[in-house]
Amino acid sequence: MKRAALAVLLLTAACGTSAQDSGNVTLTYGLWDDIQQGAYQQCADAFQKANPGITIKIQQSAWDQYWQNLTTQMVSGDAPDVITMQASYYPQFVKNGQLLDLEPMVKADKVDLSQYRAGLAELWVKDGKRYGLPKDWDTMAVVYNVEQAKKAGVDLKDLTWNPADGGTFEKAIARLTVDSAGRRGDEEGFDKSEVAVHGYVPELRDGALGQNGWGDLAVSNGFSFIDKNPFGTRYFYDSPKLAETVEWFKRLSDKGYTAPYDKVSSLGTDAVLESGKAALGITGSWMINTYLAEGAFAFAPLPEGPQGRRSAFNGLADVVYAGTEHKEAAWKWVKFLGSTGCQDIVGDSAVVFPAITSSAERAMKAHEKAGRDVSAFTSVADAKDGTFLLPVSDHGDEIGQIVQTALEEVWLGQKDAAGALKAANTRVNALFGAG
C-alpha cells in the first residue's frame, strides 16, 4: 500500500467515518408521530450544525401507513437509514437480518446505558446483540371529558375495578352513559338500544397486547403475558384471569355502557371522545398535549384492580437499517438521538417522556410550568410494581392475528372467552414448537 493511501485510511479510521461516508451524506429518518416531528427537527438542526457533512431528512407518516411502508421498504431495500422502532415490532426485522447490531459501536463509544430509565436498554438486546438505543417511554391513564364527568357528578380520581361487578370503575361508566332520552345507565328506564353517549370507549382492536385497556386491567387482575421478557417462548393467553377480564368487557357492551363491537367507530378511540359520543377512555402519555390542548379533557389514574394499579410500560428506540449505505453516519445520528443533546430538546418540548431520566424530568417540569397535570402517568411509573413491560418475542405478527381473532369471537358473542383464548393460546405456543 502506498504511504499516501495509508495516511488517508488512518485518518478515516481516526475520525470514525468510512470512505463511503466522506463528503456530504443525507440520512432518512422514519417517524410516525407528527406531534413529535417539530422536536426531532430541532434535534436534526442541532446535529447538522455539529456535523456539517450530514443532512437529516425526516420521513413522517401515520401509524398504520408507517408500518405498511416499512415492511415494503425493508423487502425492496429502500428503508429509512434510521428508524423509530416499537419494541413488539422489532423482533421480526431482527429475524430477517434487517437491523444493524449496534453493540460494537455502543462499546467502542462507551455509551452510558445507565442513563436510561431502568428496563429500557435491555429490551433491545437479543443473543448478545443490541439493536436500538432507547428513545422514550410511556404509561397509560384514564382520559375523560371534564364537562360530562361534572354533569354526571362522578369522581374519577381513585377508582377500583374487579371482573365480577366492575367496582367503582363500572359504576362511573354506568353513570356517564346517557340514552337518547337523557336517562343515565344507572337510572330506571335506561334504554341500552338508544344510547347517545357511551360511558366508555374501549380499544378492542389492540391485537395481542391490549396496551390501551384490556391488558392493563387483566394484569391488575393477576394475568401475566409470557414466561420471560424479552424473548420468552411460552404465552399464557389461556389464563382464567384474562378470560374474566375479557368477559367483563363483553358485559359492558351487553349493558349498553360501551358500543357493540360491530358498531364501534372505525375512526378510533380519540375521535369518538373528541366527538362527545363517549365520556372516557384509556390512553397513553404520548397523547397528553393533544387532549389537554383545549381544556375539554383531563386525566385520572387507571383503576386499581385486585392486584393493584398496573399500567403497560412501553419504550421506543432508534435503530439502524442494516442495508443503509451510511452506517457510520447513521450511528452518529442514533447516538445523538440517544443522548441528552437531543433528549433534553424533546423533554423541553414535553411531547413525550424521554428515555434518559434527567431529560424526562425536564418534560415533567415543562408540563408543570404549562399547568398540565400529568401525575396520572408519572405516579404509576414511579410506583413499586406499578408497571409491566409489554411482551417482546418472535412471531409478533402471527400472535397478534391469532389473539385478535379470538377476542373478536368473544366481543361478537360467538364464543366464550375461556374457550376462545385457550384455543388461541395453543396456536400461539405452537409457533414456538410447543406441543
pLDDT digits (tens, 9 = 90+) for 138-185: 999 999 999 999 999 999 999 999 999 999 999 999 999 999 999 999
Question: 50: which residues sit within 8 A by CB, 6+ positions away?
Answer: 336
Report the 10 Å Cβ neighbour count for 303: 23
Cis peptide before 230 (omega within 30 of 0): yes
- pLDDT (tens digit per residue) in 357-408: 999 999 999 999 999 999 999 999 999 999 999 999 999 999 999 999 999 9
Question: 160: which residues sit within 8 A by CB, 6+ positions away?
Answer: 167, 168, 169, 303, 304, 305
The C-alpha atoms of residue 17 and residue 11 are separated, in whole angstroms, by 9
pLDDT reading at 10 higher than 80: no
pLDDT reading at 305 higher than 70: yes
The C-alpha atoms of residue 223 and residue 307 are separated, in whole angstroms, by 9
What's residue 7's pLDDT?
A: 32
Q: What is the mean pLDDT of the chain?
A: 93
What's residue 435's pLDDT?
A: 56
What's residue 14's pLDDT?
A: 31
Question: 201: which residues sit within 8 A by CB, 6+ positions away?
Answer: 258, 259, 264, 269, 272, 273, 277, 278, 280, 281
pLDDT reading at 17 higher than 90: no
- Torsion (CA) 142, 146, 150, 152 in degrees, nearest 10: -50
The letter for the amino acid at 56 is I
pLDDT reading at 36 higher than 80: yes
Rounded to two decimals, the pTM is 0.91
Report residue 269's pLDDT band, with 50, 70 and 90 as the boundaries: confident
Q: Is 200 helix (H, G, I), strand (E, B) or coil?
A: strand
